[in-house]
């Protein structure tokens, strides 16, 4: 049985796309997933499944959310080891000048198209900065995520993919919580 983390994009933000975590947890259990835990109100769910096809998991969860909550929202599913690899690949972790509380990881639904990446000039968004790696974007927001232009909508529009962002502490906690189930 593998341990997975799913992250829902854009729920419980500013009173939109409301989903109670206990109801979401129950939905995952009804899908047959084991050891289901939610973390904070933004749609982070840790669970175990025999299913090894992440695309199948993602589709099943997404379709069930549409049926149960009448919401069409992007769902991102990562195996614990993959999320840990993404976390450790953060180039800002090694930079003592980049505070952990100002670091974010934006997960993308697909591998990034390099032609689209080249069109985004990092220098235009200073003092904030970002770094791309496969299907993740590492973001450093000097004044916090609420003040940056480097948000989900920005990257979705520029890269033509779905995106969801979590702060470094949330990603680290999700990985750690996997060891408790």
Q: What distance in Å separates the CA atoms of residue 178 and residue 80, rounded to the nearest whole number?
A: 7
Strand pairing of 44-49 and 34-39?
Answer: antiparallel
In a shared domain, residues 97 and 169:
yes
In a shared domain, residues 70 and 93:
no
- Ordered per-residue pLDDT tens for the chain, 181 residues: 999 999 999 887 666 788 999 999 999 999 999 999 999 988 999 999 999 999 999 999 999 999 999 999 999 999 999 999 999 999 999 998 999 999 999 999 988 888 888 889 989 999 999 999 878 999 999 999 989 999 999 999 999 999 999 999 999 999 999 999 8
In a shared domain, residues 68 and 155:
no
Q: What distance in Å separates the CA atoms of residue 114 and residue 104, rounded to the nearest whole number?
A: 21
Nearest to 157 by CA among 123, 88, 97, 106: 106
Q: How many residues does the chain have?
A: 181
The domain boundary residue, chosen from 79, 110, 137: 79
Q: Are 16 and 10 in contact (CB under 8 A)?
A: yes
In a shared domain, residues 42 and 116:
no
145: domain CATH number is 3.30.70
17: domain CATH number is 3.30.70.1280
Token pair belonging to 105: 């990881």
Determine the structural domain holding residue 12 and report its residue range. Answer: 2-79
In a shared domain, residues 12 and 37:
yes
In a shared domain, residues 129 and 69:
no
Token pair belonging to 90: 């953060």
In a shared domain, residues 118 and 70:
no
In a shared domain, residues 91 and 138:
yes
In a shared domain, residues 73 and 89:
no
In a shared domain, residues 115 and 168:
yes
Tally of structural domains, the chain: 2
The arrangement of strands across the sheet holding 103-108 comes to 129-133, 136-140, 103-108, 163-167
Beta-carbon-side half-sphere exposure of residue 173 (alpha carbons within 13 Å): 11
Q: What are phi and psi of 157, to 5 degrees?
A: -65, -40
């Amino acid at each position: 049985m593998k341990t997975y983390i799913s992250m829902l994009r854009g729920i419980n933000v500013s009173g939109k796309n409301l989903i109670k975590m206990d109801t979401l947890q129950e939905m995952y259990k009804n899908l047959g997933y084991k050891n289901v835990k939610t973390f904070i109100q933004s749609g982070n769910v840790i669970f175990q499944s025999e299913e090894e096809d992440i695309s199948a998991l993602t589709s099943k969860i997404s379709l069930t959310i549409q049926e149960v909550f009448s919401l069409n929202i992007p769902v991102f599913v990562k195996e614990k080891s993959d999320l840990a690899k993404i976390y450790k690949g953060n180039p800002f972790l090694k930079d003592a000048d980049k505070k952990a509380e100002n670091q974010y990881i934006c997960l993308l639904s697909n591998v990034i198209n390099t032609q689209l990446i080249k069109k985004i000039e990092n220098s235009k968004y200073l003092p904030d900065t970002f770094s791309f790696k496969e299907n993740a974007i590492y973001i450093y927001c000097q004044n916090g995520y609420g003040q940056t232009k480097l948000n989900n909508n920005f990257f979705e529009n520029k890269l033509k993919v779905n995106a969801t962002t979590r702060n470094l502490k949330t990603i680290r906690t999700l990985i750690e919580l996997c060891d408790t189930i």
